[in-house]
Every structure is written in structure tokens, then in C-alpha cells.
Amino acid sequence: MNPMDLLRSNLSRVRIPEPTNRIFKQECCVSFDTPRSEGGLFVDLNSFLAYGKDHVGWNFEKTGNPVYLHIKQTRKLVAPEDRPSKKPTLLAIGVEGGFDNNEAEYDETHSIVILPEYVTLSYPSVELPEKVRLAVDAILMAEGAERKEQVAAWTADKKQTSAYAMNLQQIDNGVIIPPSGWKCAKCDKRDNLWLNLTDGMILCGRRNWDGTGGNNHAVEHYKETGYPLAVKLGTITSDLEGADVFSYPEDDSVVDPLLAQHLAFFGIDFSSLQKTEMTTAERELDQNTNFDWNRIQESGQDVEPLFGPGYTGLVNLGNSCYLAATMQVMFSTHAFCTRYYTQEPLKAAFEAAPADPTVDLNMQLTKLAHGLLSGKYSVPAQEKDAAANAATTTDTKQEGIPPRMFKAVIAASHPEFSSMRQQDALEFFLHFVDQVERVHSGKPEVDPTKSFKFGIEERISCPSGKVAYNRRLDYILSLGIPLDEATNKEELAAFQKLKMERISEGKDVTNEEIVRPRVPLEACLSTFSAPEELPDFYSTALKAKTTATKSAGLTSFPDYLVLHMRKFVMEAGWVPKKLDVYIDVPDIIDISHMRSKGLQPGEELLPEGGPEDEVQSNKPVANKDIVSQLVSMGFNHLHCEKAAVNTSNAGVEEAMNWLLSHMDDPDIDMPLSQETQCAAIDQSKVETLLSFGFSEEVARNALKASGGDIEKATDWIFNNPDASTSSDMDAATSSTAQTPADAGLPDGGGKYRLFGIVSHIGTSTQCGHYVAHILKDGRWAIFNDTKVGASVDPPKEMGYLYFFERLNS
């Protein structure tokens, strides 16, 4: 059969793309091949997915789709001065309207290829069937899905001014917000907290689809009160443009032009005094940042470039260095190399993937692992250009691989990582291991994140002499840095004296003169285990709140131990500060002494108090003035009390709004004292929760803690995963035996070797740059986006995240 007849016989397998179709034409779905690769790129004219020459045959075997558009790009030899420069209109690199990234220009050729024989027809050609011409024209004219997502991410950061900002009414109820130590007013959440700009209530954010996030208290408060704007605590710094303001009626992140005024109302004030104090600090920080930049990136050092398996750079997609540094370390561990490289062939991952492999986490992690570890893409840039007669370049850099598809999949459930803004490498690491653990929920035996997971046991000692033990699982040890444990106090005192002299002379100290505190890692580890006071602990022995003492230890030692150094703190006056400190980190550490001992002979556990004990002690009391004003309007006294309690005594108007929308509630006439007890006696609700697979005691505790509401009880169980016989961690107990949560986790000796460091350069985790240093093949290597080289002097004292590997005795 001649080629044209063969094409016509396969026309039923050709589709003309619709405007809504995602078209991939820049990168292979299962490898990092592009139109510039040796074999070019093949676009499936049925699914519009692209494949490199080694993988297009797999797609034919899997789908039977025979017709492909082949795209091949060959480098043009154009002098850079011949190219006209355009003025950028968008803060982005390498996208239309953005900054030019001075890429070389390429000639592009197209042809139609029919598998399995790779029969080729030239394109363009008037002889081709119209359907094929229309399909190919549409693909070539369309913006590729890879490009579209990149542009969307750059432009998504443009926020609109809220319609509710200019006339926002604020209620003066005496609320002053401190710079730290916040907690949700309706639950125990201490992160993901939002300050309502109308009444100053601090409440937790929305629950994510996967059960993570907050408990929806901030959005529920909006539904009850109609107060429209809230700002995320932790994002407020003197640079108010970085603050995260959310409008509930507009259901979007917005700009509040009067944010400074709205925050000042609640005592968050950036006065001129603080600004002058900050400029001094900022000047010093700038100086330190320049020093950090050179030290961490090993600028000025003669770094020998490294190539080959395991030494592949990652292209920065626009502030994606947090992802690059973290993933380089993860794929240097035996656990991830084994799972996604040595034991997961690319073809097996592709065959197991859904119809669109670009949205499958397993496929994209396997693609990334093979890209990083095979060595296929880790070659000097000039070797790749040899075919284009451009071997004269002396640059020994590598081009690296762009982790675009992986980033799109891992960020799909996370709005922050989907953006082009810089992110916290710690938050990304935790999100990443959480997502990988989820996809292994049915087969935990091959889950590589298990190697990072360990148990933590907290011992709480109450003045009654009795104790409680709580257990939880974690992936990181987050360590405070005790500056008072610095080993160079004399040099620091001399430096402070010198600095004061220079300031009085109107001069700055030089980089060479700066002395930083040096704190041993051992001192940081001690802060984790050291006893601390719990001021508002509810003791089931004393039936009252008291001050208890808490200490912590590990119930298991993981294969890989990740230490997070808490370098970022919020000072008084809402000034964010990065601790300017060196951590003396030895190559080998021993944490054997940090193993928890569990319940000891002679210790008596706190009695198992029902959650109603604490609920009763915590029970909010209705404001009498609000109640009497509502009663004078003719409302029922009990209803008025409930309205005041449920709006946290915010005011008469709020209570009345609540009342009017809850008049028909079935439990509106139930006394307040009974609301927390009704769950204990409603056996049918207990049975309902038992049918979901929860144990009876967990079901009863959940119903007691949530006032008998099944939906809230279910939420309570998911938010208190380790609650077996208690309402919350205050009374959770355990014995020395490994609980099922600990069972199956790796465990061994407490000696570890340092093998990875993720360092941060910049003033906060939301800006600056991340670099990884990794111990490979007996030497340290630096991974700085696409730059990979032999490290001359790894900055061990400047890490943000430290990765240790257990030494097998």
C-alpha cells in the first residue's frame, strides 16, 4: 500500500483538536525528549500527547493510534547581535511579553509519520487529506499545554482590589493581636490562621479535599456574620504587598489598599519608628545575604562541573529552586532511587498510567527519576550542539531537565505550589511526602516515604503526680536554635563593641569583620527533648486547668532523619527576622539518648476523662448585656444565650443575625449544658459512626466533643487521628509497647551520617534562593538548578534542612 493510501485508511484515528483540548508539543510525556532531541518529537494526532523516538512505539502498542506529527528542531547559527530586543511587558522569563532569555533560534521541520513501519509523508503538502491538514495546522497554531500552564502561573499572581476594602466597617471590641502565639478561637489549630478584619477574630482556614488544612472556622464565621475580608497570619510583614488577603464574597485572594489602616485597628502597627529600626537591620541583612549568596553558591571557587548518572541539573521554571533542591536530595536516597528507578522501568510506569500520563504522579516521578539518574541528559551543552556545527562553544555547563510535568502534578492540589512564587522548601518537602504516601495507601510496603517516618512520644507530667503519654508520627524534627548556647561568646562581645564604635563613627562593619554566633547542633537537638511548661493543661486527675510539664522523645529511628532549623522568627513589632547564626554540624551524630522510654515502673497514668469534663471547664459564658438587650426585643432567653455564645459575644447585631438564621434549628430549645452530653446517650448516632468503621470509644468521644453532630464528629475523628480513648492530646495515653501506628516503621540504631543539605539565601522563606549540597560517591557535590559541580567547601554550618542517613551497625 502506498503511503497516501495507508494514511487515508487510518483517517478515522485522526482528530481535529477542539479549543478545549490540551496539546503537548514541547516535551515527551514519559521522558525529557523535545523537538531538539536527536529523534525529534512525535505528537499523537488522536490524543495530542507527545512522545520521543524511543517511546512513541510504546504509545502505539498501548493505544493503537498510528498517525503522528513529527516535529524536529535544528539550531540556527545566528549571531546574538542580529536579534532585535523587545521591551518586556510581563514580569516573566521566556514567555510572550516577558524578558527574553536569549535562547538560540531553531529551524523547525514537520512530517507525518505512520506507525508501526514509520512510513513518512512530507508536510506541508496539498496532497494530504484535508482532515490531516486541519489537524496539523491546529496543533502548530495552538499554544502548547506546557507553555499555557507556565503563562497561567505567571499571570495568576495578579490580584484585583476588593470591592469591600474601601468601606470596611471595623468593630472596636478591644482586640489587640500579638505578633506570635496565635490559636484558632474555636479549635486548637495553630497554623493556617486567618484574622477577620471586621471583628479581629482569629480562626482556622478551609479544610482541603484530602482532609488536611484547617477546620473551616474562618469561612463558617463569614457565613454567620457576613464579615467579608480576612488576612492570613504569618504573611503580614512590613512589606504589606506580600500579605495574603482573602475576600469571602468574592471567593478570591484580593488587594486591600487600606490594609495598613485595617491592621492598625487591631494593634498591628508599622510605625515610622519601626521602619527606621528595620532599615538598619535590612542594611545588615543585605550585607549578610551577599555573603550567604557567595558562600552557599561557592561563588569564586573553581567548581569542577560534574556529568553523568545522578549529576543532572534541573531547569529553574521561575522560582522553582525550592523544588529542585529538595528533589535532588530525595533522589539521592536509596529509598526513592529503588522505588522509581531501579525497580520501576519507564515502560512499566507508562503501561500502568491512565490515558493521560501527564497527570499521573507515579508516571511523572518515574520520568523525573530516570531523567535525573540515567545520565542521558547530563552531558556538556556543547556535545548536544555538535550536530548543529556549534561545537566551538567552550561552555561546560549542562542544559538540565525542566521538571514541568512533575511540578504540575505535585502542585495540582496546592494553590501556592501551583504559582510561580518562591516557596518554603520545608513546606514543599512535607507536601511531597504526603502526596507520595497517599498514592501508596494500598501498598505501604513499597512506599519510599516510610524511610523518613518516625514516631514521637510526648510525656506530660501533671502536678497531681500522674502522667500522660501521647504519640504522633512525623517526617521532620523541627529544632529551635538556642543562641545563648553559642560557643564563641567572647568573639561576639568583641564584635558588638566594634559594631557600636563603627555606628558612632557613621560607618559599617565589613563582611570580613562580621562575627556570627556558632551554636552546636547538639544544643539544638537538646531543645527538642528539654522539658517545657504547658500553662493551660486540663488535668483529668485534678478536674481543673493547671500547668503541666512536657518532654519528648522518639519511639523509632528512621532510615533518613531530616532536621529543620527554625531560622525564621517574628520579632516584636511584626518584624520578620532570619537568625544570623552558624550551626556546627558534625558529619556523624548519635541520637540514641533521644529514644523515649515510655511508661516507667511506678508511674501512674492520668485517668481517662471524658471530653465533656474539659468542654464544661471551657464552656463559653454568654455576655449578660447582649442577652438582656435581645430579651428586651422579645426573644426567648435561652435562644439569646445561645446566640451570644455561638458568635463569641461579638455584639448584639451579630447575635441577632445568628438568631434569625437558626430559629428553626431542631436543637434550639435544648439547654446549653445538655448540648455537649446529648451525644453520649444517642446510641443511633454511635451506631452510624460504627458503620463507618470507627471503634465505639472513638465514636463516643467524637460525638461528645462535637455536641452530637455526626458530620462534625466525623471531622473531629479525622482531625484527631491518634485519639483512641481521649478527646485530644491532653489525655491521650500509651504504654511502652509499639502502637499499630508505630508498627511497620523502620527502626535501628541512633547513629547517622550527614549526606544532604538544603541551604537558603535571602531574608525569608518566601523569597531568595535554595541550593542543595549532597554527599555522592564519597565527595560533596553542589546542585544549584542546572549547575552541578564538585563542591570545594560545602556550607555545612548554613543549612536550613539537614538530611542524615542511618549508619548500620
Q: What is the DSSP string of 639-651?
A: HHHHHHHHTTT--
Q: Are strands 518-520 and 568-571 parallel, antiparallel or unpaired?
A: unpaired
Amino acid at 708: G
* All three cell numbers of 745: 516503621
- Residues with Cβ within 8 Å of residue 15, at least 6 apart in sequence: 45, 46, 48, 135
Phi, psi (rounded to 5 degrees) for 253: -70, 135
Query: Quick check: helix, strand or coil at residue 109?
Result: strand
Interhelix angle 624-632/652-662, rounded to 10 degrees, is: 60
* All three cell numbers of 90: 510581563
Residue 714: CB atoms within 10 A of its CB come to 17
* DSSP category for residue 605: B
Task: Give catalytic residues, as residue numbers.
Answer: 321, 769
* All three cell numbers of 742: 508505630
Distance of CA 584 to the CA centre of its chain: 27
- Residues with Cβ within 8 Å of residue 328, at least 6 apart in sequence: 314, 372, 772, 774, 783
Q: For residues 764 and 280, give the distance between their C-alpha atoms in angstroms, rounded to a whole number.
A: 17
Specify the pLDDT at position 678. 44
Specify the pLDDT at position 177. 87
Matching residue, cell 495540582: 412
Q: For residues 141 and 138, give the distance between their C-alpha atoms in angstroms, rounded to a whole number.
A: 5
What is the C-alpha radius of gyration for the chain, rounded to an integer number of angstroms?
30
Q: Are strands 518-520 and 477-479 parallel, antiparallel or unpaired?
A: unpaired
Is residue 1 packed enough to be buried (19+ CB in 10 Å), middle (13-18) or exposed (0-12)? exposed
Interhelix angle 696-705/710-719, rounded to 10 degrees, is: 110
CB-CB contact of 132 with 110 (8 Å): no
Specify the pLDDT at position 780. 96
* All three cell numbers of 206: 478551609
Q: For residues 64 and 57, give the distance between their C-alpha atoms in angstroms, rounded to a whole number.
A: 10
Q: Which residues of 39-75 are buried (b: 16+ CB within 10 A; e: fewer)?
A: bbbbbbbbbbbbbbbbbbeebbeeeebbbbbbbbbeb
Amino acid at 780: W
> Using alpha carbons only, what angle is made at residue 275 by residues 270 and 281, rounded to the nearest 5 degrees?
125
Q: What share of the chain is helix, strand, coil (3-state, %, to 5)?
A: 35, 20, 45
Q: Which helix (H) or strand (E) holds 625?
A: helix 624-632
Matching residue, cell 485508511: 9
User: Which residue ranges of the chain lie beneath pLDDT 50?
Assistant: 80, 87, 89-93, 271-285, 287, 383-394, 610-612, 676-681, 724-740, 809
Specify the pLDDT at position 270. 57
Phi, psi (rounded to 5 degrees) for 409: -75, -45
- Residues with Cβ within 8 Å of residue 167, at least 6 apart in sequence: none
Q: Which of 151, 470, 120, 438 is nearest to 318 (CA)?
A: 151
Q: For residues 325 and 372, give the distance between their C-alpha atoms in angstroms, rounded to a whole number.
A: 13
Q: Are strands 160-161 and 119-123 parallel, antiparallel or unpaired?
A: unpaired
* All three cell numbers of 625: 448585656
